[in-house]
């Protein structure tokens, strides 16, 4: 991944990502309108092992859902996110990310 791709990936995750889990394992989820299909395809390319689900139709909304968990989360995304000064960039995202790490022992 080059510097631009890292910045793109991290910017999307900071702006749109959800840091949580399913109760058993941590995950980062991104849900956006189907018009962002090419962006989602880029996310899958940048994070081999991540998954793209959809398109879904719910409540008049059409969207895709991208998820990263397991090896791609631990070996690709956590190291990238841990290098960022998240607390000074976005306190809310920092709290959500930190909570996910504590809850799942990362």
pLDDT attached to residue 100: 97
pLDDT tens profile 52-90? 999 999 889 999 999 999 999 999 999 999 999 999 999
Query: 38 and 5 in contact (C-beta within 8 Å)?
Result: no
**pLDDT at 96 exceeding the cut of 90:** yes
pLDDT at 1: 85
pLDDT of residue 32: 96
Cβ distance 78 to 106 under 8 Å? Answer: yes
CA dist., res. 28 & res. 80, Å (int): 13
Count of the separate structural domains present in the chain: 1
Range of the domain at 12: 3-103
Task: Please give the pLDDT value at position 8.
Answer: 95
Tell me the CATH number at 11.
3.10.28.10
What are phi and psi for residue 23, nearest 5 degrees?
95, -20
Count the alpha carbons within 13 Å of 68 in the hemisphere toward its beta carbon: 22
Copy the structure tokens of residue 37: 């299909």
């Amino acid at each position: 991944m080059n510097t631009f791709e890292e910045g793109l990936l991290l910017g999307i995750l900071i702006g749109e990502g959800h840091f949580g889990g399913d109760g058993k394992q941590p995950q980062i989820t991104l849900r956006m309108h189907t018009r962002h299909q090419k962006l989602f395809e880029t996310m899958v390319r940048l994070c081999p092992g991540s998954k793209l689900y959809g398109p879904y139709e719910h409540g008049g909304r059409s969207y895709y859902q991208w998820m990263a968990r397991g090896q791609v989360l631990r070996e690709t995304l956590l190291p990238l996110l841990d290098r960022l000064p998240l607390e000074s960039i976005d306190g809310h995202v920092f709290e959500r990310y930190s909570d996910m790490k504590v809850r799942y022992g990362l």
